[in-house]
Amino acid sequence: MPLLRAAARRLAIFIGTVVVASIVIFLIVQALPGDVAQTTLGMGATADAVAALRERWGLDQPLAVRYGQWLVGMLHGDFGSSYITGASVVSQMAPRLAVTGWLVGFSVPLSLLVAWPLGLVAAMFRRRWPGAVVNALSHIGLAIPVFFVGTVATIIFAVNLGWFPANGYVTLGTSVSRWASHLVLPVASIVVVQACFLARYVRAGFIDVLTEDYYRTARAVGWTRWRGLVRHGTRNMATSLVTVVGVQIASLLVGAILVEQVFVLPGLGTMLIQAVQARDLVVVQDVVMLLVFAVLLLNFVIDMVYMAIDPRLARGGRG
C-alpha cells in the first residue's frame, strides 16, 4: 500500500523533527544567562541556600539527565512545576490551551468560509468592478494589523453598541452564552484579517483553474461558468491553498498572542509573555515546546490532507 508507506514515512519524519526541536528548545533555554535559583532567592542569599534550591529543582544534574527527565516527563503528561509558583505547568497550561484552541479553531474555518466566495468572485470578475472591489478590500485587510481591527471592533461593538463584552473570558463550563459572547469579537477580528489574506490565494487558485483544460472540458459538457468553476475548481484550488492555510494556522497559534492581549484573554500567548517576564523558564520551555509541537503536528496533518485532496499523491500512476 503506497498510501500507508507514505503516511508512515511522514510520521517518522514528524517524530524525528519533534525530538530535534525539543533538544534545540532545551539547549536554548539552558543557555540563557543567569542562574534561576540565584535570581529566585535574591542577591543576598547564601551560597548554601542557592545550592540547596538547585538540588531541589534538579539543576545540579548533568544536562543530558535533565533533558531526559523533561522529555520522559512530558511523555507521561508531566511538564514539570513552575519555579515561581510551584504549581504544575500542565494544570496552568490546559485551560489556556483551550482558550487559544477556541480562538484558532473558530477563526480558521470561518476565514475559509469567507475567503472562498470572495476569491471566487474576484477570480471570475477579475477584469470587472466586483473583482477590483474584492481585490482592493483584501489589500486593505492585509495592511491592517489584527490588534488594530480588534481595538476598533471593541470601540464600536463593545463600548458604543454594547453588543459584546469588551474583554475577558468565561469558560464554556461556566456559561455557554457568556463564553460565546466573549469569543465573538476576538474571533471576528482574526477572521477579518485572515479572510482577506486567504481570499488572495483562493482568487489566484481559481484564476489558474479558469485557464485549465479541464475547466474548458467542464464548460464543453454543459456546466455554466459559475457552477463549473465551483464544481471542478474548488478541489483543485484547494490543493494550492492547503499549504497556505497550514502556515496561517501555525502563525495564528503564536500570533493569537496579539488578540489575546487586546481582549485580555487568558491564552497561551499571555501565559508565555508572563513567564518570560518572570523568568519562569520551565513554563517558557514548556509553552514553546507545545507551540512548536502544534506547528509540526499541523504540518504532518497537512501532508495527510494533501493526500486526501489530490489523488495523484496518494495513488501512484503515470503522471
Residue 230 in the binding site for other proteins (CB under 8 A): no
Chain positions 282 to 311 lying near other proteins, rule: CB under 8 A, are 309-311
Say if residues 242 and 112 touch (Cβ distance below 8 Å).
Answer: no
C-beta of residue 282 within 8 angstroms of C-beta of residue 25: no
Looking at the Cβ atoms of 149 and 218, the one nearer to other proteins is 218
3-class DSSP assignment, residue 88? strand
- Tell me how many residues contact other proteins (CB under 8 A): 33
In the bound complex, what is the minimum distance in angstroms from residue 253's beta carbon to other proteins? 29
Q: Please list every residue from 135 through 194 that binds other proteins, using CB under 8 A.
A: none
What is the nearest approach in angstroms of other proteins to the Cβ of residue 226? 9
3-state secondary structure of 173: coil
Report the phi/psi class of residue 61: left, alpha or beta, with left for phi > 0 and alpha for psi in -120 to 50: beta
CB of 35 within 8 A of CB of 42? no
Nearer to other proteins, 78 or 310 (CB): 310
| Closer residue to other proteins, CB minimum distance, 96 or 232 | 232
9 lies in the binding site for other proteins (CB under 8 A)? no
Tell the smallest beta-carbon distance from residue 236 to other proteins (Å). 6
Residue 162 φ/ψ, nearest 5 degrees: 70, 25
Please provide the size of the chain in residues.
Answer: 319
Q: Whole-angstrom Cα distance, residue 130 to residue 59?
A: 63
Question: 3-class DSSP state for residue 202?
Answer: helix
- Within 103-132, the residues that bind other proteins by CB under 8 A are 126-127
Radius of gyration of the chain (CA): 24
Q: How far is the CB of 307 from other proteins (least distance, A)?
A: 12
For every residue of 221-283, DSSP letters joined together read TT--HHHHHHHHHHHHHHHHHHHHHHHHHHHHHHHHHHHHHHTT---HHHHHHHHHHTT-HHH
How is residue 262 written as a grid cell?
487586546
Task: Identify the residue among 210, 230, 273, 276 touching other proteins (CB under 8 A).
Answer: 210
Nearer to other proteins by Cβ, of 35 and 212: the residue is 212
Give the residue with the Cβ less far from other proteins, 218 or 290.
Answer: 218
Q: Which of the stretches 9-17, 145-153, 234-242, 244-252 binds other proteins when contact is defined by CB under 8 A? A: 234-242
- Could you list the residues that contact other proteins (CB under 8 A)? 126-127, 204, 207-208, 210-214, 216-225, 231-232, 235-236, 239, 309-312, 315, 317-319
